[in-house]
Amino acid sequence: MSTTAVKNILLTGGAGFIGSHVVRLLVERYPDSAIYTMDRIDYCSSLASLGVLENSPNHHFIKGDITSADFVSYIITQHKIDTIMHFAAQSHVDNSFGDSFEFTRNNVLGTHVLLEAARQNGITRFIHVSTDEVYGEVGRGSPHCTEDTILAPTNPYAATKAAAESLAMAYFKSFKLPVIITRSNNIYGPHQYPEKIIPKFICSILSGRKCYIHGNGSNSRHYLYATDVAEAMLVILERGVVGETYNIGSDVEITNIQLARYLLLLMKAPGVSLLPPGEGNKRHSVDTGDAASILAALGDLTHTGSAIHGEEAHLAFVEDRPFNDKRYAIDSAKLHKLGWKPTVSFEAGIQKTS
């Protein structure tokens, strides 16, 4: 799909974390297209994330709820929308255990409303943004999930995203709606709401509060910087094949406890250092101001590793979720064939974030 074919783009959830990064990139790369950001402005979204676009002539903000069928249909018709990029969703897994109905309303019903409005208005491209959590837990040593792996969500959030995907593909098969689905790893970067683990740990360290670790901290996730994801979304918009799904993944895997230790060292939390010198311990000589050196010193980031000096004053271990997948892992070879690969290292991304 060429840039000239895209005239009027509607991006839902565009005042949220990743949506706002994609909006900014669209405004820059598609100067002759109209970019409409639709967001209801929930607790985790903010117009401040779109502040840099205030004077951009090709960007327009619309406050609205994707579950309102009449409103969504009006917006698509009024602005002659030809492309929809659907980011809007409730996404915090912990919250889905407490109010799963709200997740179903937003993530499933909201998606259905958009799909039906898109069908009625002849949309030429519908990008549905999903998550790697729909695959369920992936054991260590198991193959990474490809786009053809059977979905096995284990928490209410992931189940609603899998359900939304099913609706999207049903509209593709039943009505020939030009749908493409994306599934990404954990994303981090500036402007992320501090309910997510990286900004939450950073805020805790800056304010002198403890970082709370679920269980023993052995759960691991793969991390991808926000601008890399935004670039992936544009590659998929321009080169993706209708009816296909694309994993957007990273090779950077780190356990929660190692992530906390890394941030404590990088941000030079009071009283924290690599363990003092001892027999067989070479970590004391590492420059704790250098992000890459810290990562190397921590050793295997995919396991719990060894404690660092003074960490007990900054970490608190709490009861885990009712069910918490130990690990996700996805294969992005299909997307790589379209020409995308991540370019921001974890060290560089964290320094831009913190």
Which member of 132, 231, 253, 325 is catalytic? 132
Percent of the chain past pLDDT 90, that is, above it, reads: 81
Highest mean pLDDT among 105-114, 293-302, 317-326: 105-114
Q: What is the pLDDT of residue 4?
A: 57
**Over residues 203-227, mean pLDDT:** 96
Active-site residue flag, 132? yes
**Residue 277: is its pLDDT beyond 80?**
no
Active-site residue flag, 157? yes
pLDDT confidence bin for 312, thresholds 50/70/90: very high
Active-site residue flag, 28? no
pTM above 0.85, yes or no: yes
What mean pLDDT value characterizes the chain? 93
Which member of 30, 36, 135, 157 is catalytic? 157
Q: Report whether 45 contacts 13 (CB < 8 A).
A: yes
**Residue 221: is its pLDDT beyond 70?**
yes
**Residue 285: is its pLDDT beyond 50?**
no
**Residue 300: is its pLDDT beyond 90?**
no
**Over residues 85-95, mean pLDDT:** 93
**Over residues 156-176, mean pLDDT:** 98
Q: What is the pLDDT of residue 284?
A: 47
Q: Which CATH number fits domain 8-188+225-251+328-343: 3.10.20.600, 3.40.1230.10, 3.40.50.720, 1.10.3720.10?
A: 3.40.50.720
**Residue 33: is its pLDDT beyond 50?**
yes
- Enumerate the domain spans of the chain: 8-188+225-251+328-343
**Over residues 161-188, mean pLDDT:** 98
Q: Please give, one letter per residue, the 3-state secondary structure of the chain.
A: CCHHHCCEEEEECCCCHHHHHHHHHHHHHCCCCEEEEEECCCCCCCHHHHHHHCCCCCEEEEECCCCCHHHHHHHHHHCCCCEEEECCCCCCHHHHHHCHHHHHHHHHHHHHHHHHHHHHCCCCEEEEEEEHHHHCCCCCCCCCECCCCCCCCCCHHHHHHHHHHHHHHHHHHHHCCCEEEEEECEEECCCCCCCCHHHHHHHHHHHCCCEEEECCCCCEEEEEEHHHHHHHHHHHHHHCCCCCEEEECCCCEEEHHHHHHHHHHHCCCCCCECCCCECCECHHHCCCCCHHHHHHHHCCCCCCCCCCECHHHCEEEECCCCCCCCCCCECCHHHHCCCCCCCCCHHHHHHHHC
DSSP bridge pairs for 214:
318
**Residue 282: is its pLDDT beyond 60?**
no
> In 3D, which of 248, 92, 260, 269 has the Cα closest to residue 180?
248
